[in-house]
A and B are shown apart, each in its own frame.
Chain A
Amino acid sequence: MNWLTLNWPQVIELTRDHLLLSAPAIVLSVLLAVPIGRLAHRRPRLGGAVLGAAGLLYAIPALPLLIIIPVLFGIPLRSPATMIIALTVYGLALLVRTAADAFGSVDPRVREAAVAVGHSPLGVFWRVDLPLAVPVLLAGVRVVAVSTVSLVTIGALIGVPSLGTLLTDGFQRGIPAEVATGVIATMALALLFDALLIAAGRALTPWTAKRRERLLPRAETT
């Protein structure tokens, strides 16, 4: 703990770096996986191929991926962008299938009813498909968030600072407290993301069962 009292400004800075790498990757994964998953759901034939390919992305080993990305995108190796792209690739691999399943979980009769009363195709997506896909989608996003936060640490291997830096540095210099701080801070960050996502899920799906029990008596007394 002595190590921490001396080095906490560095820990805070690395935590910030860690956040700035993981949050954009999680957001990008969701933004890309939702339309791809929707496409895969709407066109099952094409979808099968897309889902297969997406799943395969996860099988790419991390180090080669971190070397290929700068070449493909023409960006420096040791840049946050390289890390964010790599993390997004893994995020997509985890999330695309869940996103397709999420749209598959929407009752087709509800979708049809929405069309029948006059929703436009875009209206059906935003007002019906997307909100009703949230519960399943969110379960996938929670996995991606936790996985991304922990994967960020490998950036330390190519010299992109994050809480992973505490791990490599701690190992090299033989400071157990530094390694422990890195592990605990990473896990804390993952838990924080998870808690935020659970809260967001509650706010986005007020119609689901749990809330119902709380709403009912209130509706009765007002």
Chain B
Amino acid sequence: MRFGSLYRLTVTVLPMSGEVAVIEFESVSKTYPGHAAAVAEFSLVVPSHRSVVLVGSSGSGKSTLLRTVNRMVEPTSGRVLIDGEDVRERDPVALRRSIGYVLQHGGLLPHRSVLDNIATVPVLNGIAKREARTAASELLERVGLDPKLGRRYPGQLSGGQQQRVGVARALAADPEILLMDEPFGAVDPIMRRDLQEELLRLQAELHKTILFVTHDVDEAFLLGDEVVVLREGGVIAQRGTPAEILGAPADDFVRDFVGADRAERELSIMDIDGRAVAVDGSGRPVGVLAP
């Protein structure tokens, strides 16, 4: 929806080799030994160069699903395909290096400098350290950080800075696919907003295939071309564009979860001095309609 025009542009530019970074879940189930099913019969296609957001409450199986893509979790049954190829056919190390992964808890290496953290995958892939660090320094700027921070260790950065470094690390090997597991979970709302805007800006430039996980509905609606609402046990409650889900919640669970009835979502228009002002259910102004 948001990057519709960019999306079309990319598709025409890409060669028809089939390498377009489509992720497909085919009836994926995962049961951890001694637990109820964390994910049951989950099927989904993440289209090329779009962002799909999995949103659900804690324990609904979001991380589990994300981690089946890079084989950090092996499904109990079902398959995950990337561009038609079962990920189980891929060497796990090579697979993981080909996918950018932003971890729920940062996951930076505490004993490596920020630059070396960002350069991790390029260096593992055999790129010369100096070259990789130069590129890492540029990436640091790209995610909105001062390149001077590159020589620090992760422990010397704030939570928000660490999250940005995590994003930079995921981008370093220029992967077609990004997996982002609540990448902005650990920061305050203002910083969070900043990071979200930055991701949108980056995505407009880079158009990766993004599978993004969050429990924040507003974040899902902001970042997702498509949103998948999960219930307990990794069951899809509804999938669609943010507008579709907000406009026509499939059931009471979704209506409740996305807060479709919340006062701040119920907008009405008031005419004030000839300008159309949108106000929410409690009468608070939220914006002015463009003329």
B164 to chain A, nearest CB (A): 16
Q: How far is the CB of A186 from chain B (nearest CB, A)?
A: 35
Q: Does B97 contact A (CB under 8 A)?
A: yes
A10 at the B interface (CB under 8 A): no
Question: Which of A116, A120, A215, A219 has its CB near the most chain B CB atoms (within 10 A)?
Answer: A116
Interface residue A48 (Cβ < 8 Å from any Cβ of B) = no
Question: A207 contacts B169, CB within 8 Å?
Answer: no
Q: Decide yes or no whether B70 CB sits under 8 A from chain A.
A: yes
Would you list which residues of chain A between 66 and 125 have a CB under 8 Å from chain B?
107, 109-110, 112-120, 123
**B interface bracket (residues with beta carbon within 8 Å of A):** 20 to 34
Q: How many A-B residue pairs have CB under 8 A?
A: 72
> Known: A205-B111, A219-B148, A222-B148. Contact between A116 and B153, CB under 8 A?
no
Q: Do A113 and B70 contact each other (CB < 8 Å), given the known contacts A118-B96, A219-B152?
A: no
The answer on a CB contact under 8 Å between A207 and B111 is: yes
B108 in contact (CB, < 8 A):
yes
A216 beta carbon closer than 8 Å to chain B = yes
- Partner of B105 from the list A109, A119, A216 (CB cut-off 8 Å) is A109
Q: Is A212 an interface residue (CB 8 A)?
A: yes
Given contacts A110-B109, A131-B111, contact A118 B153 (CB under 8 A): no
Question: A111 to nearest B CB, angstroms?
Answer: 10
Q: Is A11 in contact with chain B by the CB < 8 A criterion? A: no
Provided the pairs A123-B124, A219-B148 are in contact, do residues A117 and B101 lie with their beta carbons within 8 angstroms?
yes
Is B269 on the interface with A (CB-CB < 8 A)?
Answer: no
A106 to B105, CA, bound (A): 16
Q: A128 at the A/B interface (Cβ < 8 Å)?
A: yes
Question: Are the C-beta atoms of B105 and A118 separated by less than 8 Å?
Answer: no
> What bracket does the count of chain A residues touching chain B fall in?
20 to 34
Q: A109-B107, A132-B110, A215-B156 are in contact. Are A117 and B148 (CB under 8 A)?
A: no
Query: Which of B103, B111, B112, B124 interacts with A118 by CB under 8 Å?
Result: B124
A206 to B108, CA, bound (A): 16
Is there an interface contact between B96 and A215, defined as CB atoms closer than 8 Å? no
Chain B residues with Cβ below 8 Å from A205 are: 111
Closest residue of A by beta carbon distance from B151: A219
Per-position 1/0 for B249-277, Cβ under 8 A of A: 00000000000000000000000000000
CB distance from A136 to the nearest CB of B (A): 13
| Residues in chain A near residue B124, CB distance under 8 A | 118-119, 123
Question: Chain B 78-107 against A: per-residue CB contact (8 Å), 1 yes, 0 no?
Answer: 000000000000000110110001010111
| Contact between chains at B96 and A117 (CB < 8 Å) | yes
Contact: B110 with A113, CB < 8 Å?
Answer: no
Given the complex of chains A and B, what is the CA–CA distance between A112 and B96 in angstroms? Answer: 12
Residues on A with beta carbons closer than 8 Å to the beta carbon of B156: 212, 215-216, 219
The docked-state distance in angstroms from the alpha carbon of A107 to that of B107 is: 10
Selected from A119, A128, A207, A220, the residue in CB contact (under 8 A) with B93 is A119
A114-B109 in contact (CB<8A): yes
Quick check: A116 and B72 within 8 Å, CB to CB?
yes
A139 to chain B, nearest CB (A): 17
Which residues of B in the span 107-127 have a Cβ within 8 Å of any Cβ on A? Answer: 107-112, 120-121, 124
Cross-chain contact B152 with A116 (CB below 8 angstroms): no
Which of A113, A120, A216 is B109 in contact with, Cβ under 8 Å? A113
Known: A117-B120, A118-B124, A119-B124. A215 touches B152 (CB 8 A): yes
23 A–B contacts from the bound complex (CB under 8 Å): A107-B110, A109-B107, A110-B109, A113-B103, A114-B109, A116-B72, A116-B96, A116-B107, A117-B97, A117-B120, A117-B121, A118-B94, A119-B124, A127-B109, A128-B111, A131-B111, A205-B111, A206-B153, A215-B151, A215-B152, A215-B156, A216-B152, A219-B151
**Known A115-B96, A215-B153; 18 more pairs at CB < 8 Å:** A112-B72, A113-B107, A116-B70, A116-B72, A116-B107, A117-B101, A117-B107, A120-B93, A127-B109, A132-B110, A207-B111, A216-B152, A216-B156, A219-B148, A219-B149, A219-B151, A220-B148, A222-B151
